[in-house]
Amino acid sequence: MKLVKDTDTKNIDIKVSDKEAEEAFRTILAWVGEDPSREGLLETPKRVMKAYKEYFKGYQEDPSKILDKTFGDVDGYDDMVVQKNISVQSHCEHHMAPIIGKAHVAYIPKERVVGLSKLARVVEVFSKRLQTQERLTMQIANTLMESLDAKGVAVTIDSTHQCMTMRGIKKEQATTVTNYYLGQFKEDLSYQNRYLRFITTRLKD
């Protein structure tokens, strides 16, 4: 699996074959007390390897390239653009346990805007890597701010960490919220307050 460099991680060129990954998962099956040779588990190492490729496909994508194409024909729109309830499916780097939640993203354009789907795709790329929620929140915000040359960016993530709900302290109802603000969102509390109202209030029909 080839890694793609971003602003927060070094590009470490480690090449591991699919076969080597399958053997590693076969070893884990034996380690937990299973028989990797029994019928129900014969294809499990290959299936897990393929699943992990999907879970961590963000290492093979450059999120800044997603934002290359922008649009200027927006009649001078210069207020915030807010996208709510973007699903987040990631894995924590400490236990490789799932992180499941939602992200809310906003930016204030200068002259150009980006396609709405691209905001969700940036969230997706960074989510499909081993993460801490704090770093994930900052990576999304910094990438949007730099790539879009925005006046301001705000990112909020609200998620459940299965390393807390399924093991250790086992607090099933615990959720974690992180916020990160840049530009006008950081400098002007009125923008923060409007953003927070947008993401917490359901618009009436």
Tell me the catalytic residues. Answer: 92-95, 133, 161, 163
The DSSP symbol for 176 reads E
Helix (H, G, I), strand (E, B) or coil at 54: helix
Say if strands 113-114 and 70-71 run parallel, antiparallel, or are unpaired: antiparallel
User: What tokens does 63 get?
Assistant: 């999120």
Burial class (CB in 10 A: 0-12, 13-18, 19+), 131: buried
The DSSP symbol for 171 reads -
Closest CA to 63 of 133, 146, 135, 132: 146
Backbone dihedral region for residue 84 (phi beyond 0: left; psi -120 to 50: alpha; all else: beta)? beta
Q: Give yes or no for a contact between 100 and 88, defined as CB atoms under 8 angstroms apart.
A: yes
